[in-house]
Amino acid sequence: MDTKIGSLDTCRPTSNDMINPTNGAVAAIQSSVSPTMINASESTLGRHLARRLVQIGVTDVFSVPGDFNLTLLDHLIAEPELNLVGCCNELNAGYAADGYARSRGVGACVVTFTVGGLSVLNAIAGAYSENLPVICIVGGPNSNDYGTNRILHHTIGLPDFSQELACFQTVTCFQAVVNNLEDAHELIDTAISTALKESKPVYISISCNLSAIPHPTFSREPVPFSLTPKLSNKLGLEAAVEAAAEFLNKAVKPVLVGGPKLRPAHAGEAFVELADASGYALAIMPSAKGLVPEHHPHFIGTYWGAVSTAFCAEIVESADAYLFAGPIFNDYSSVGYSLLLKKEKAIIVQPDRVVIANGPAFGCILMKDFLSALAKRLKCNTTAYDNYHRIFVPEGQPLRGAPKEPLRVNVLFQHIQKMLSSETAVIAETGDSWFNCQKLKLPRGCGYEFQMQYGSIGWSVGATLGYAQAVPEKRVISFIGDGSFQVTAQDVSTMLRCGQKTIIFLINNGGYTIEVEIHDGPYNVIKNWNYTGLVDAIHNGEGKCWTAKVFCEEDLVEAIETATGSKKDSLCFIEVIAHKDDTSKELLEWGSRVSAANSRPKTNPLIVTSGGSHQRRAKEQSAQQRWSYSKGTSFKMD
């Protein structure tokens, strides 16, 4: 049975009683576990929390100090296996925990009450949207202040301390307010185990005066989490597999498409098993890039409607059956709701539910169980892949530039492709980097991350920090637009302090290019910075850092040779000067379609009368708005 947390396979169970900490509820602890007694000075709430974090695979915590969390930070630092990474602001600390969780399977950040909590909130919302277990820890008010009429600093000036909690309730799956020691152990353990089994962030507030107080419940080393796996309903699983196999086996040219929820469902291996057994053409949704091996013999690329990789959309949309594993159909992934898919041809597999065409639907079925079982029931059918192979024409090379000609973005990414290996990972910022990086062909073992569902500009700086900290053996290559970089640039400083060897490509094209292609205006133009000068100033002679400004292909070649050669152990920052209108063709197409979706005119609401035809028409219209498949119209899913 799987004993790893998320994608981390270096976190080994400390006894044979720990089972699958990625799913399920807390199970009874076996009697064979005999935790070690610890001395009174270490039997504190703060040390218990630190030991729990280490136990689940968190060895780095991203933090910003504030007077409500200082004592807690002392106790986290005291844990020898835990490294505290101080960030420049709370937003970046949250983004770093997000990036860390993408590699390790779980991440953590620590901030102070309200001013810190509300600053990190946006990053936690992003982690929630991307199904990442992030432990967000907040140093809270003194326990004696709860229930009084005292007004505290760092608040909005009311004696009620619940404003921060109310904000976190919508973007976390569990909230624990620890303001007494009697239930602290239970609340902390419940919060952490809930984050692991739900693959969502949790919120833990700890009163500032409690972290250093010993308590009998913390007098032993924490018993290893024993999280029972969620189980599929056996009869439902058999029925779903039988119905799906019948549906797919009678299809002429079925295809498979992987979606982003393969990650929280821990179903990547099962999906590949299904692809191996079925022989179907295998595609991914853009937000699933990096979750499915692109070296698979039947891989045909990214399915993204009108901006899919070459010949992929034609194969998917002409199929007579398609299985989507863990999809998210939003306005971005559906290119303004313009996917040419039909409901009656689709099997939609979510982490715990399967829907076949117009019905039936099966609940209480785990995706990985369903995919593995289905793999044993499908006939091998390579028709769709054979069609792809038949029509595929290799992409042409970018036009060769004249000597010292201004660098074009498509030339840049031609050189980037050659840099990728099993020892690298790609981080793509929101913007044109989405589209350019989608076209990269990932070699075996090359990591890839971007934030498509939430799409918060500036995410990549913190995420790069966190991801690189989680896997120091890989060299992270980040692609960040100038507009996004201006939001979160400060934590390049933290990368240097941590000795990271990331390569950052800063694409300087003078503004918010992705917004330009959706709706242009003077607000999309930003003040130009001397970006390499800024990073040099941040470097300030401390740590290993090298910067370069690139204007042409000759400059780029030289910069890459230096970054991967003599400066391979340094953080390398390469500013690429690009024309403001030098965008991928995919962004141009995608932007126009998303713009059209955003600017749809308001429809007149129906007048509903009780019990009459108007009420039926309103219900029918509502259903049509949720699902639009027929006759080549858009594919939409709540």
Residue position matching structure tokens 């308001």: 602
Alpha-carbon gap, residue 264 to 534, rounded angstroms:
38
Q: What is the per-residue burial (b if ≥16 Cβ within 10 Å, else e) of 350-384?
A: bbbbbbbbeeeebeebbbbbbbbbbbeebeebbbb
Written as one string, the DSSP assignment of 49-60 is: HHHHHHHTT--E
Lowest mean pLDDT among 152-161, 263-272, 487-496: 152-161
Please say whether the beta carbons of 487 and 458 come within 8 A: yes
Can you give the pLDDT at residue 606? 54
Distances (CA, A) of 449 to 98, 413, 437: 11, 17, 10
Alpha-carbon gap, residue 339 to 262, rounded angstroms:
21
- Is the pLDDT reported for residue 30 higher than 70? no
Cα torsion angle, 295, 296, 299, 303, sign: negative
- Is the pLDDT reported for residue 611 higher than 60? no
3 state SS of 68: coil
Regarding predicted confidence, which is higher, 431 or 442? 442
Can the peptide bond before residue 522 be classed as cis, meaning omega within 30 degrees of 0? no
The pair of structure tokens assigned to 280 is: 């179907």
Alpha-carbon gap, residue 355 to 349, rounded angstroms:
7
Lowest mean pLDDT among 152-161, 369-378, 456-465, 610-619: 610-619
Please say whether the beta carbons of 453 and 260 come within 8 A: yes
Can you give the pLDDT at residue 227? 80
Can you give the pLDDT at residue 205? 97
Can you give the pLDDT at residue 354? 98
Please say whether the beta carbons of 326 and 259 come within 8 A: yes
Alpha-carbon gap, residue 108 to 560, rounded angstroms:
33
Q: Give residue-wise pLDDT tens across range 439-480.
A: 999 999 999 999 999 989 999 999 999 999 999 999 999 999
Confidence of residue 517 (pLDDT cuts 50, 70, 90): low
Can you give the pLDDT at residue 518? 66
Alpha-carbon gap, residue 133 to 108, rounded angstroms:
9
Please say whether the beta carbons of 519 and 595 come within 8 A: yes
Confidence of residue 161 (pLDDT cuts 50, 70, 90): confident
Alpha-carbon gap, residue 336 to 636, rounded angstroms:
10
How many CA atoms within 13 Å lie on the side-chain side of 519? Answer: 7
Can you give the pLDDT at residue 614? 44
Regarding predicted confidence, which is higher, 47 or 587? 47
Can you give the pLDDT at residue 600? 84
Please say whether the beta carbons of 94 and 140 come within 8 A: no
In whole numbers, what is the pLDDT of the chain averaged over residues? 87
- 361-363: strand order across its sheet: 299-302, 281-284, 255-258, 322-325, 346-350, 353-356, 361-363
Burial of 607 (0-12, 13-18, 19+ CB in 10 A): exposed
Can you give the pLDDT at residue 4? 39
- Is the pLDDT reported for residue 363 higher than 60? yes
Please say whether the beta carbons of 336 and 597 come within 8 A: yes
Lowest mean pLDDT among 24-28, 146-150, 168-172, 448-452: 24-28
Alpha-carbon gap, residue 27 to 5, rounded angstroms:
16
Rounded average pLDDT over 490-507: 97
Can you give the pLDDT at residue 610? 46
Lowest mean pLDDT among 18-27, 390-399, 614-623: 18-27
Can you give the pLDDT at residue 270? 98
Can you give the pLDDT at residue 38? 75
Confidence of residue 248 (pLDDT cuts 50, 70, 90): very high
Can you give the pLDDT at residue 603? 78
Lowest mean pLDDT among 85-94, 512-521, 524-533, 611-620: 611-620
Can you give the pLDDT at residue 528? 92
Can you give the pLDDT at residue 147? 77
**Helix boundaries (H) for 540-579:** 553-564
Can you give the pLDDT at residue 35? 60
Can you give the pLDDT at residue 362? 97
